[in-house]
Amino acid sequence: MSLRTPADGHVEDVAPGRGTLPPRARYASSDAASLSLNGRWRLRVSATADAEDDAFARPGHDTGDWAEVTVPGHWVLQGHGAPIYTNHLYPFPVDPPHVPTENPTGDHLRHFDLPGDWPDAGDAVLRFDGVESCARVWLNGTELGDFKGSRLPHEFAVGHLLRPAGNVLAVRVHQWSAGSYLEDQDQWWLPGIFRDVTLLHRPPGSVGDFFVHASYDHVTGAGTLRVDSDVPGRVTVPELGVDVATGEPVTVPVAPWTAETPRLYDGVLATAGERVPLRIGFRTVALEDGLIKVNGTPLLFKGVNRHEWHPRHGRALDLDTMREDVLLMKRHNINAVRTSHYPPHPAFLDLCDEYGLWVIDECDLETHGFVEQDWRDNPVDDARWTPALLDRAARMVERDKNHPSVVMWSLGNEAGTGRGLTAMADWIHDRDPARPVHYEGDLDCRDTDVYSRMYPPHAEVERIARGLDGGTRRRRRLPLILCEYAHAMGNGPGGLADYQELFETYDRLQGGFVWEWIDHGIEHPELGYAYGGDFGEELHDGNFVCDGLLFPDRTPSPGLTEYGKVIEPVRIGPGGTDGTVRVTNRYDFADLSHLEFEASHQIDGRPAGTHRLTVPPLGPGESAEVKLPPAPDDEGGEVQWTVRALLAGDLSWAGRGHTVAWGQGTVVRRAPVAAAAGARPAVDGDTVTLGPAVFDARTGAPRTVAGVRVRDLRLDVWRAPTDNDHGAHWQSDVRCGPHWRELGLHRMRHRLDAVETDGEALTVRTRVAPAGREAGLRTVYRWTSDGERLRLTVSVVPEGDWTVPLPRLGVRFGLDAASTDAVSWFGGGGEAYPDTQAASLLGRWEAGVAELQTPYVRPQENGARADVRWVELGGLRIEGEPEFWFSARPWTNEQLDAARHRTDLTPGDTVWVNLDHRQHGIGSQSCGPGPLPRYFLWPEPAEFSFVFSVPGD
Ligand code: GAL
């Protein structure tokens, strides 16, 4: 006799569910009554799926000792259990469709009364917008059914069970189910009812499913609207004078919808029992001449991959957070979103329609963990799972089909290949022939309408662009998009400008989507933000979950600033002749009439006048040479112009004056730094005095400069490796970070060979090298002075067999923290490295030492400023020849390197300053390619100088 007959058989059933209604279009509102069931629910978490029977679902069950949880939410983020982060490994044994006996199970209970004015007639539907990973539902003790498909809607008909008061809604949620095998996305595993729960009144004659077909003919300027509806009714669009029966097409002149010009027309679908507001955008998506075109124009995606994330609420996002994402995207010139790797909360798509973003809507499907067994038993190639896959495809397409912003369907992510995917593609093509289908795993493009890749190096992208990559006949006729590129983990991504140049050069390249939008750090009292492993997970992938352009609190990281600059829709660069700029409209659809232009000059970084610049109303792709206002008298200084394109009026996503694009050019170059020589070094006991500086006679190291104590000035080649320096372990290309450490660049020894004085200089000869290695850097420090200013010239000659580039090459020293806070400099404003430098705006800047730190969730090299002419801090002015990279921190690079979380770093009594002649590039190797060869810092003979003096006024 079997003692274990699981009442939870559905958990391991590959079928999508039982008892739910067929999927249908989602709409934000209607005149039918509805009741939100969000709020506080009772919760009981059990360790296994069958620890408790289903008595809790019966009215009257005593929940006195149950906890409470907020719905939408994840119970593991509300004090019950813990989140788990894995990239692609399943955090349970792979034996589909079985799941572990340890299967955290949350019984959720909610009592509710109907509002007094809830209509008697009609039916009602209970809708769940998202439950991870599997739910079984009862209303008033009657079981409604069960479902899987975490980020998809599921509805039950419940009218016959509702009571005016005292309704009991019971939902049993299992963390693991057969569905988990289809949801192996690289993110936290977060069980719970994490999207809205709503009761919807369905009046007699109410709207069922409907499909808004709103196309645009760019030749005639006419839009054609046809709303197919299961329940017949009328469609009105007052602004267009449209009043037609459902199913009947009507053609009228319209303004089209594009992400740049998101024109929506308000309409109504009215059936006998319900009025549903429509927001209609007319646009036609087509694959033509091997390109994805909208309204006849090829698109260039300047996109991001967006997971839903909130540092406290996980994937339970409120409307304000979603809106913040959209506003931040628009303000950084992003024009497209791939909803990696599942359909987002439906309100997000309403926002994309409204503000204007192209959307690739991706299905909730990933089976990446099967790669570990060479994709054997992959559910997407096993007919038993096909109904579940088709269910997922249908739930996405039916829910989201009426959004003009959705221009492509994506079958899912990293699920290998198989007939299940083909079945999904076939179904989608049939249901919605007006949108192309995307899936990156389909390398031959058998099922898809676009060739999609992730993380190819620049050279390969160019090969594909030129059609030299081979591939199937079908693939060769399709455009390329990079559904993921530029891995924004930690400091980076590098190389964005170089990708963009390719995208803008070759027609076949239709842009890409940076990976990814936001770091999924979880707010944590001791750690700042937690990442994989911080909850004691037995398998995890560490901080690979923090790889976004935003920090977890949605502060833009320098990577977002860089991206916003690289993809700006107006190019402003030097003109063909002196005194002109070339302005190019790089929008696909919009002209420049929403912008105004401003030109300013700066002398030695000081603003010297701002003027309005008149730019002709250029159409997409057009450019013009525009005369700049005359440059001011340079007074012997260096002169730059800056031209900015600003919003000329308030838009929905930013106010008047918001900078959309800028360009900068040099009119008068920097003069060489004045010599500092002539003073004689004077030896006095154990010190040497040279101009304003006092040195240790034995070591040749400066003790004070202009009365300021200077600690441990010496050559420095180490940087706390970035995530991109570390690289991903699966990469076959050289990964610098591990090599640097292996070579010992973090433990360089400084051998003192000589301290010499002559009539005009103090010269210190050293050799800098790690223990155990032959390779080293012969380093000479030569100090001179004119009595007031002190010049250091550093010469470096590499010796031995160097097989890796250097992290950095420069000097570092310590200043007393107590007197070193305000920093001012003339150079690039924000963080920059050789291949992340596009957004570095030259000017005079000021910041406190704390502000100079970029708070990457896992601490690493950060905060360098590029092209610095001079910096003032701690009572010193330092000019560089040539320009240099500058950083200052309240801890050492070694401490930065050792830290795992922000909270491991506490300011000490010294501010450590790095003045770098060069820096190694950043690249994207935490998932993609490393820096391009031209950003490598190969050891070679180098000489660079710094002049120290007392800051002027
Ligand atoms: C891709 C994957 C993403 C993410 C990324 C690395 O392969 O599609 O989900 O894992 O790599 O962060």
Q: What does 304-317 look like in DSSP terms, one character per residue?
A: EE----BTTTBT--
Question: Is the predicted pLDDT of residue 6 greater than 60, yes or no?
Answer: no
pLDDT score recorded for residue 731: 84
Per-residue pLDDT at 734:
83
C-alpha torsion sign, points 413, 416, 421, 425? positive
pLDDT digits (tens, 9 = 90+) for 589-633: 999 999 999 999 999 999 998 999 999 999 999 999 999 999 888
Give nearest CA residue, ligand 1 atom 4: 186
**Residue range 110-132: mean pLDDT, rounded:** 97
Averaged pLDDT, 93-99: 97
Say what the pLDDT of residue 279 is.
Answer: 98
> What are the pLDDT digits (tens) for 626-655?
999 998 888 889 999 999 999 999 999 999
Widest pairwise Cα distance in the chain: 104
Architecture of domain 684-949: Distorted Sandwich (2.70)
For residue 305, which of 461, 187, 448 has the smallest C-alpha distance?
Answer: 187
Res. 254: pLDDT tops 90: yes
Tokens 């991959």: give the residue.
305
How large is the average pLDDT for residues 171-199?
A: 98
- pLDDT tens digits, one per residue of 491-508: 999 999 999 999 999 999
pLDDT at 7 (0 to 100): 53
Q: How many residues does the chain have?
A: 953
Looking at ligand 1, which atom is closest to the CA of residue 547?
12
Q: What is the pLDDT of residue 795?
A: 98
Atom from ligand 1 closest to the CA of residue 341: 9
- Per DSSP, the residues of 182-208 read GB--SEEE--EE-S-EEEEEE-TT---
CA of 543 to the centre of ligand 1 (A): 13
Q: What is the pLDDT of residues 538-567, one digit of tens each?
A: 999 999 999 999 999 999 999 999 999 999
Domain boundaries, the chain: 9-202, 210-286, 300-566, 570-668, 684-949
Distance CA 143, CA 169 (A): 10
User: Which residues have any ligand 1 atom within 6 Å of their CB?
Assistant: 87, 185-186, 341, 413-414, 454, 484, 515, 544, 547, 927
- Does residue 270 surpass a pLDDT of 90? yes
CATH code matching the domain that covers 300-566, chosen among 3.30.70.20, 3.20.20.80, 3.20.20.70, 3.30.230.10 = 3.20.20.80
pLDDT of res. 132: 98
Counting from 1 in the atom list of ligand 1, the atom nearest the Cα of 87 is 10
pLDDT of 953 strictly over 80: no
Comparing CA positions, the residue from 345, 363, 372, 470 lying closest to residue 412 is: 363
- How many Cβ atoms from other residues are within 10 Å of residue 768's Cβ? 18
Q: Is 248 a catalytic residue?
A: no
pLDDT, residue 297, reads 98
Active site residue 846: no
For ligand 1, atom 9, which residue shows the shortest CA distance? 186
Each residue's pLDDT tens digit, 299-334: 999 999 999 999 999 999 999 999 999 999 999 999
**Cβ-count burial of 419 within 10 angstroms (0-12 exposed, 13-18 middle, 19+ buried)?**
middle
Task: List Cα–Cα distances, 608 to 330, 365, 578, 644, 690, in angstroms.
Answer: 31, 56, 19, 15, 38
What is the SS3 assignment for 553-583? CCCECHHHHHHHHHCCCEEEEECCCCCEEEE
Share of the chain above pLDDT 70, in %: 99
**Residue 3 has what pLDDT?**
59
Mean pLDDT of 55-70: 95
Nearest CA to ligand 1 atom 10: 186
Q: Are both 210-286 and 570-668 of the same fold?
A: yes
Of 12, 155, 274, 414, the catalytic one is 414
Cβ atoms of 317 and 196 closer than 8 Å: no
Long-range contacts of 696-704 (CB under 8 A, 24+ apart): 697/755, 698/755, 699/752, 699/755, 699/764, 700/752, 700/755, 700/762, 700/763, 700/764, 700/781, 701/764, 702/783, 702/813
- CATH number, span 9-202: 2.60.120.260
Q: Is the pLDDT of residue 5 over 70?
A: no
Mean pLDDT of the chain: 97
Region 744-762 average pLDDT: 96
Q: What is the pLDDT of residues 763-816, one digit of tens each?
A: 999 999 999 999 999 999 999 999 999 999 999 999 999 999 999 999 999 999
CATH topology of domain 210-286: Immunoglobulin-like (2.60.40)
Q: What is the pLDDT of residue 634?
A: 81
Residue 682 has pLDDT above 90, yes or no: yes
CB 774 within 8 A of CB 660: no
Class of the 570-668 domain? mainly beta
Which of the residues 484, 562, 596, 638 is marked catalytic?
484
Q: Mean per-residue pLDDT for 656-673?
A: 96
- Write the pLDDT tens digit of every residue in 833-867: 999 999 999 999 999 999 999 999 999 999 999 99
pLDDT (mean) for 148-174: 98
As a whole-number percent, the residues of the chain with pLDDT over 90 amount to 96
The count of other CB atoms within 10 Å of the CB of residue 24 is: 20
Best residue for ligand 1 mutational test, from 189, 414, 455, 483 (most atoms within 8 Å of Cβ): 414
> Which DSSP string do the residues of 493-519 spell out, in sequence order?
---HHHHHHHHHH-TTEEEEEEE-SB-
Sign of the alpha-carbon dihedral angle for 36, 25, 292, 931: positive
pTM of the predicted protein model:
0.97
Of the pLDDT bands very low, low, confident and very high (cuts 50, 70, 90), residue 479 is: very high
The Å distance, Cα 764 to ligand 1 centre, comes to 50
Across the range 165-173, mean pLDDT stands at 98
Can you say how many angstroms the Cα of residue 705 is from the centroid of all Cα atoms in its chain?
Answer: 44
Strand duo 480-487 + 451-454: pairing:
parallel
The rounded Å distance from CA 364 to ligand 1 centre is 14
Distance 858 CA to ligand 1 centre (A): 18
Give the number of the atom of ligand 1 that is nearest the alpha carbon of residue 185.
9
Q: What is the pLDDT of residues 242-251, one digit of tens each?
A: 999 999 999 9
Q: Which atom of ligand 1 is found nearest the CA of 413?
A: 8
Q: Which of residues 568 and 675 earns the better pLDDT score?
A: 568
pLDDT of residue 732: 81
Residue 735 DSSP SS3: coil
